[in-house]
Each structure stands twice: as structure tokens, then as C-alpha cells.
């Protein structure tokens, strides 16, 4: 969801791969997602986002994208 909000065309999102690790020291999930999606010109591009995901309670999730490739 955090990634789709940043995309030009969220409907074009296609996940290629992802990697998730839980960091006990910070109590967050460290996530790396590689995906394909349309850019502003309509061409598909491959992107990778790194970020942290934290479940604050049963209803809320905090997503912080720390870098992109």
C-alpha cells in the first residue's frame, strides 16, 4: 500500500520479488520490494524500495520507505 500511493499508475503494480527480515532490536520488519510499474510516459520500469514496517496496534501499520533504487 505504501508503494502504490507513490506510483504514477498504481493499477500497473506487479511485484517481482520481496525480502522481509524482523529486527528484534528495533521491533520493525525490514522490507525490500522489487516491482514493475508504469512511469509517466506509460513505459514499464523496474524499481526497488527498501523500508521499515511497524505494526502499531491491531488497526494501524506504519510504513517508512528508507531508500529507492
The per-residue pLDDT for range 31-44, each reduced to its tens digit, is 999 999 999 999 99
Q: Tell me how many degrees the CA angle 52-41-45 measures, rounded to the nearest 5.
A: 40
Let me know: does 49 contact 36? Beta carbons within 8 Å.
Answer: no
- Residue 66's pLDDT is 82
Domain span including residue 51: 2-68
Strands lying side by side in the sheet with 44-55: 14-23, 28-38, 44-55, 61-68
- Residue 1's pLDDT is 63
Low-confidence stretches of the chain (pLDDT beneath 70):
1
Which residues, at least 6 apart from 6, have a Cβ–Cβ distance to it below 8 Å?
65
Amino acid at each position: 500500500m505504501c508503494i502504490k500511493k507513490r506510483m504514477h499508475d498504481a493499477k500497473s503494480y506487479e511485484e517481482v520479488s520481496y525480502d522481509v527480515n524482523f529486527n528484534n532490536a528495533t521491533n520493525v520488519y525490514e522490507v525490500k520490494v522489487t516491482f514493475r510499474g508504469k512511469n509517466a510516459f506509460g513505459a514499464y520500469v523496474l524499481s526497488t524500495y527498501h523500508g521499515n514496517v511497524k505494526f502499531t496496534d491491531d488497526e494501524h501499520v506504519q510504513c517508512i520507505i528508507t531508500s529507492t533504487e
